[in-house]
Each structure stands twice: as structure tokens, then as C-alpha cells.
Amino acid sequence: MKKHKPFRYKKVGKDKYEYDFMSWEEWEDMMKDMKMDQSQKPVKTIELEEKQRLEKVSSKLYPVDQIMNILQDITTDYIQQVSLMSDKELDYDRSYWILHYGDGNGSYDENTYDVDIHTISILLEQVRRFGRIVYEKGEKSIKLD
């Protein structure tokens, strides 16, 4: 495709220029070229199509958007609540507490998601502060078998 400039100029002296407008024929050619440019669609390459296909498959296999939303909720809960908790408030077996006093009875209600997000935040902070998740030993311990 040719690049056309409708206005032309040439320097004819110090600070003097001559100006000219393209011919009618050149104008029509430029307009045809512009119409062709607008009607052409970008050509998809095999590599681009393969990349788009892989992204589609990947989004189905790895629901990154959903995970990012959950991580955002965990971060919000951590900042607003868990980061402000003292070591004493965090030093308990959250799993035991949920099973015996919280939503750990298998029922689901409008608070279940928020409680689970808060639990994950607490467990993360326990690992950060204590280097491990706190589990109760002794009478309150939960048997896994």
C-alpha cells in the first residue's frame, strides 16, 4: 500500500515554501487504498490460533480467575481481622473449633463461605507466626482414623 499525503510542499528559499494539493486521480487512489485498509481483517496466524486454543483449554483446566477471587477474599479477611489478632487469640486448633462449635456440622448456610475464608486466613497466619498450624493434643485431639 502506498502512503499518500494530500498536501505537498517544497522549500524554495529561506523561510519560503510552495504548496500543492495532490491531483484528483491521486486523491481517488488514496481513498480506494483507505477503503481497502478498513475492509481487511487482521490475519490470524497458526501460532495465534494455537495460543488462543491453549488459553481456552487452560482456563477450563485451571480456574485461575476463581482462585484469584478466593485469594482476594482471604487477603481482605486477613487484613481486616486476622492480622490484628494476638498470638493468644491465634493459638488454638481452628479445625477442632469448627468441627465442634462452628459450621463443621456439614450444614451450609449464607455464612459458610465467610467462615471458611476466615479459617484459611487463620491457618495461614498460624503458619506465618508459629511456623505450623496449631492442632490440639490430648483429650481434644481429633482422631483421623
Q: Tell me the torsion sign for CA atoms 83, 84, 90, 94.
A: negative
Q: Convert the pLDDT of each residue in 3-52 to its tens digit.
A: 666 667 777 788 787 777 777 788 788 788 777 665 555 666 888 888 88
pTM across the whole model: 0.56
**Cβ atoms of residues 90 and 123 within 8 Å:** no
Where in the chain are the domains? 7-40, 63-140
The cell for 104 is: 463443621
Q: What is the pLDDT of residues 99-112, one digit of tens each?
A: 888 765 666 777 88
How far apart, in whole angstroms, are the C-alpha atoms of residue 125 and residue 8? Answer: 70
Mean pLDDT of the chain: 81
Separation CA 96–CA 132 (nearest Å)? 16
* Integer Cα distance of 137 and 63 in angstroms: 37
